[in-house]
Amino acid sequence: MTATKQLNELGQSLWLDNITRDLLENGTLQRYIDDLSVTGLTSNPTIFHQAIKNSQSYDSVIQEKFKNGQAGEQLFFEVALEDITQAADKFRPVWDRTDGVDGWVSLEVSPLLAYDTESTLAAAKDLHARAGRPNVLIKIPGTKEGLPAIEEATFAGIPVNVTLLFSSEHYVDAAEAFLRGVERRIEAGLNPAVGSVASLFISRWDRAVVDNVPETLHNQLGVAIGQRAYKAYLDLLNSPRWQRALNFGARPQRLLWASTGVKDPNASDTLYITSLASPFTVNTMPENTLNAFADHGEVGNALPACGGDSESKLGEFETAGVDVQALAAKLQKDGADSFVQSWNELMDVITTKSESLANVD
């Protein structure tokens, strides 16, 4: 049995953190589904920027849409929705087989809206309607301004992937926003089974502190943050409030491990996969990490429900001068800023390609 299959058998979903038109059309994604137990996919502005910048596969569709009067953000979302819906169709059998637990594909609203509640909600509703697929999650950042949009989108029945979460506190705030939306659906007599995941970013923690802590603490902070969040996740699912919602037919919002590509060349390239093995969670992996784990990964022991030694480990980082809460806030802001930068670069690529292809026969 492959390591990816073992992880799937443990009860964790393996998603691919990548999308390109070539991946969709040359059979690679289907091979990952068939051979590596991949059951979903995530995307973000950085991924689309790299996909469109580094491939000619989008040239003809960009040229056609530009000649038809589309440009910039409008043109991008038209192109992105073509990729997202094609991927969603490939994962639809998984979605059907698991009755909507798995088989999801994620598309993010414009990162320029990270601090604009009303515009985020409007964009989420628009993208979900245009996708026209039940297994498409709309990514909304778990910023202070994003939380009301998460609640309202959930109440509207829009499946949400909450992104840019960096701590157990961020996770709980996002989970409670989702739960409020679910509870409002229950009170309104609506079906409360709305799909959702909450994406906790891992590797950026270790990259942020690598120059400021002893070498003995390298590549340990992200996993400790994940362990703490996993305990909070299970505690919340076991709470009377969630048990009531479940009794009315709600679906739990699953915890998702994001940013699981290792940045340190001296660390195992499967560190965040082996260390975060846990039932009823999702791990979305960069393509090279997925292939590395399939080749030589080991599953090991599942995360302990109690959070393991995370509190003592986090105490070591506090002693070393790391203010975890302050760093979580900084990482969230930096993450939002990074996606804005990628978005602006993506718009530049769209504009450059549109103009250069406009007069090509």
DSSP sequence for 277-332: --TTEEEEE-HHHHHHHHHH----SPPPTT-TTHHHHHHHHHHTT--HHHHHHHHH
Alpha-carbon distance of 72 to 79, in angstroms, equals 11
Q: Residue 1: what pLDDT?
A: 83
Residues of the chain with pLDDT under 70: 361
- The residues spanned by each domain of the chain are 3-359
Q: Which amino acid is at 87?
A: A
| Integer Cα distance of 89 and 135 in angstroms | 9
- pLDDT number for residue 359: 77
Whose CA is closest to 281, among 260, 256, 306, 308?
Answer: 256
What tokens appear for 93 in the block?
Answer: 């059998």
Buried b (16+ CB within 10 A) or exposed e, 327-352: bbeebbeebbebbbebbeebbebbee
Of residues 174, 220, 223, 226, the one with CA closest to residue 200: 226
Q: Which residues are catalytic?
A: 139
How much is the pLDDT for 300?
86
* Model pLDDT, residue 361: 65
pLDDT in the model for residue 357: 87
pLDDT for position 358: 84
Q: Count how many Cα atoms sit within 13 Å of the Cα of residue 107 in the half-sphere of its side chain.
A: 29
- pTM comes to 0.96
Alpha helices by DSSP H, listed for the chain, are 3-10, 21-25, 28-35, 45-53, 59-67, 72-97, 117-131, 146-155, 168-187, 203-209, 221-237, 240-247, 271-274, 287-296, 310-319, 324-357
Q: Are 198 and 269 in contact (CB under 8 A)?
A: no
Q: Which CATH architecture has domain 3-359?
A: Alpha-Beta Barrel (3.20)
Q: Which tokens go with 126? A: 């628009």
Residue type, 347: M
Q: What is the rounded CA–CA span in Å between residue 298 and residue 290?
A: 12
